[in-house]
Chain A
Amino acid sequence: MSLTELTIADAASGLRARKFSAVELVRAHTDAIAALNPRLNAYITTTADGALKAAQQADEVLAKGEARSLTGIPLGIKDLFCTNGVRTTAASNILKNFVPPYESTVTANLLRDGAVFVGKTNLDEFAMGSANITSAFGPVENPWKRNGDDAALVPGGSSGGSAAAVAAGLAMGATGTDTGGSIRQPAAYCGIVGLKPTYGRCSRFGTIAYASSLDQAGPMARSVRDCAIMLQSMAGFDERDSTSVNCDVPDYSAAIGRSLKGLKVGIPAEYRAEGLSAEIETAWQQGIEWLRAAGCEIVDVSLPHTKYGLATYYIVAPAECSSNLARYDGLRFGERVPGETLDAMYEATRRAGFGPEVRRRIMMGTYVLSAGYYDAYYLKAQKVRTLIRRDFTEAFQKVDVLLTPTAPTPAFAQGEQSDDPVQMYLNDIFTVPASMAGMPAMSVPVGLGATGLPLGLQLIGRPFDEETLLATGSALEQAAGFTHRPAIRAEAAK
């Protein structure tokens, strides 16, 4: 088996057993990136030289028998995480030459555990998008193809570069961030596993903010176990993030393969929404059967405020983004376009620096926070958000985990939907409610649809109970036996 096809778990034991070196493992990935990235555009910045140096050090550590959980494992880092000395762009022109002199907590944790970063993955600009088509560095191509159709598909977004890189073998795993579905939806579109932890589980320090009350970092990998291994490293309290929660990080890998006997799985009626494709409906039904067969009790539940989720999200997230992105003013870092007056400089800088989708959300956010509209929009959205959260809390009194589709359709082609923002926003309809409630959620690939594209199912858990997600996810994974690989991938490139 090619080194780019291995799981993180297998690669880690292979490295320890000296079956191959970290340099070999990393080189296999940097070579794959060199070969495929020009087409997929999954990476904005590649760091082959640094990665190979890090791999050499990893080999020394391995030789001493001091390996940590991720020693020598090549990972892609979403270009929203600030990385010390490595350009961090948020896929925006305004930061196209920004090199932070600091490291985000999540990436620092991964480095502490020995991970090797092979590059910064592409994303929707400032994580605003569901198809990775708003990046100032161009769209990412999904490595999957429809049966008998060569149209370039979107990888989902905003963590589209991470998802594509992991699916195509350009990284063994990657970090993502999820604000309204930005880990789960691209994971579903690219046939990989993506986990959005509970809000507060991973530090937001050093991660470029989109919507602070929703943003959460999480792992994306080719197996549930790999996500567990990565999350183990990424999670934990950080005093530099006031919303980080100080509670123990359990042994996530121990949850893999745990018996599901007696586990109550809720099926929320409201997720049978309009626009849900028949094949996803079928996959969902299949998932229910698999879990029933694994000993779960299936319970119908109701999350009555689900229908307001998306509308509420598109008030809260733009409101926060309009404020969070105010710091990109051309004064202290990033790009500056000169102007006659201070206001003219701001306007020119921000017009040149931000793409249309970012500008749209800043405008929406500015509008909903304006004095005359605050009560009607922002305040009301916050109230609805409370009701959405209450729905989940009540559901979790009856069940242990919820099973839903991740996205209403499989990946679509570049150019489809892109002229209608509202249509585009609907891709996040199933992922947004859990984000609004701060609940942990995961997408697991469970099969291929009629056109040969991967389909994902979403598990939503209680706050800080990522273990149940991992246990249930691994059961789905095992039942599905998802071993399909995309058309464009490192192995196939040779």
Chain B
Amino acid sequence: MAARSRDVRTGPLLAPAVGVLLFWMIVPLALTLWFSFQRYNLQNPLITGFAGITNYRLLLSNARLWISIFNTLVLVSSVLGITVVAGIIFAVVFDQDFPGRNIARLLVTAPFFIMPTVSALIWKNLLMHPVNGFFSYVSRWLGLPVVDWFVQAPMFSVIMIVAWQWIPFATLILVTAMQSLDREQLEAARMDGAKGFSMFWNITLPHLLRPISVVVMIECIFLLSVFAEILVTTSGGPGLATTNLSYFIYMRALLQWDVGGASAGGVIAIVLANIVAAFLIRTFAKNLERD
């Protein structure tokens, strides 16, 4: 199909997309880099000038930065773990035929379409509220101690909310992937006496590896920058318990108006994301080549 590609000038077709994306990549990035070397606080216009690496030095020696990076990694890896495991279980379950399967599947996947601010508010007020929330009602009814979720287990609570939103995504993709599983191979294995678990381990799981890598990659893009759920529920607290990198930079930038420091934080966030991305994109490129 590429044989006649010289007949058509693809340049003009690609130019607008490449142009705006180049602009989008270069301009804010260059500005972030520039600001990160400046003394610049919007609240105090007297502080100006070249800062050298001061912003970075201050930031990197700030324990808050490391805590927020650690929190980011905890959040991303826990949610990835939970969603992939739940996704695999749901994929196997929803691959079986049972009454009302399609409706049950719609219900399971619903949270994916709920906007983050709404899901954060439902969980915070209607479910996890220590006095009037549904969970505390159930605890009292069962005679168990009432948990003040965002105070006693803040990170766990945020992980639960975010995982709730992303389990449907893993499920959607893995259920779809199950449909392309070779049924004859399964039958043959069953003839040879393979039982449930060994069949899952040797046939189903290997088949799901590629879609799992897709799930991990796409979730990483979104989970590294979780923001609304934290802003709405805990505002990063108590203390720094739920401050991730996104929220840390947000506080620097829009609450303390420290443009230089926030920009240096931004550069660190971009570097971190690119380390993850380099690894992910390579995996994804391999997947593509198998087309």
Chains A and B bind each other: no
